[in-house]
Amino acid sequence: MDSSSPQIFPQDDFAVIHFNDTVNKSDHGLIREFGISASTTGSQHLSMAFGMVPAGSKSKRHYHPFETAVYMISGKARAFFGPNDERWKDVSAGDFIYIPAGMIHSTENIGEGVIEYILARAVSEDIAISAE
C-alpha cells in the first residue's frame, strides 16, 4: 500500500484518512464527505464527516435512526425541525447542534457564503431517510 492510500483498520491500530480518500454521501441537498466510517476505517460504532451547504440551498426534510451531533465551522444556517419545518433555530460558526434519533430536520443556508460543518454519529455508516 502506498502512502497516499488510506490506512484501513485492522491493518493498523489507527487510521489517517486524507480528504481525497473520504466517502461522498451527498444527498438531500447536502454535501457530506465521510472520513471516519466502516467504509474508510473499519469503524464499528462511530462516523464523522465534513459537510457543506451551498449558498442559497435548503436540504430536503429527512431523519436518521440514530443521534447526530453537528459543529458549525462557518456560515449561517436555519436549522428546521419537525415534519413541516414548524420549529427552527438560527445557528452560525461555533455553534453545536444535537439532533435526536428520528427527529425530522432540514437545513437552509441563510448566509452569503458556503456553510461548513463537522458531524459525528455513534454509528459506523450513514443512513438518511427522506421525510418528503
Task: State how far the Cα of 92 lies from the Cα of 111, in Å rounded to an integer.
Answer: 9
Kindly state whether residue 106 falls inside one of the protein's structural domains.
yes
Check which CATH number belongs to the domain holding 52 and give it.
Answer: 2.60.120.10
Kindly state whether residue 60 falls inside one of the protein's structural domains.
yes
Task: State how far the Cα of 113 lies from the Cα of 53, in Å rounded to an integer.
Answer: 9
pLDDT of residue 83: 94
Residue 29 has pLDDT above 70, yes or no: no
Please state the rounded mean pLDDT for residues 101-123: 95
Cell 458549525 sits on residue: 72
pLDDT of residue 70: 97
Residue 9 has pLDDT above 80, yes or no: no
Task: State how far the Cα of 64 lies from the Cα of 16, in Å rounded to an integer.
Answer: 26
Q: 32: domain range?
A: 21-130
Residue 66 has pLDDT above 90, yes or no: yes
Please state the rounded mean pLDDT for residues 22-48: 83
Kindly state whether residue 3 falls inside one of the protein's structural domains.
no
Please state the rounded mean pLDDT for residues 119-126: 90
Q: What is the pTM of this model?
A: 0.83
Kindly state whether residue 16 falls inside one of the protein's structural domains.
no
Q: Look at the chain and count its residues.
A: 132
Kindly state whether residue 36 falls inside one of the protein's structural domains.
yes
Q: Which of 65, 69, 1, 59 is nearest to 30 (CA)?
A: 59
pLDDT of residue 15: 80
Please state the rounded mean pLDDT for residues 26-49: 84
DSSP state of 41: H
The number of angstroms, rounded, from the C-alpha of 81 to the middle of its chain's C-alpha atoms is 16
Task: State how far the Cα of 129 lies from the Cα of 40, in Å rounded to an integer.
Answer: 22
Task: State how far the Cα of 66 lies from the Cα of 46, in Å rounded to an integer.
Answer: 11
Domains identified in the chain, total number: 1
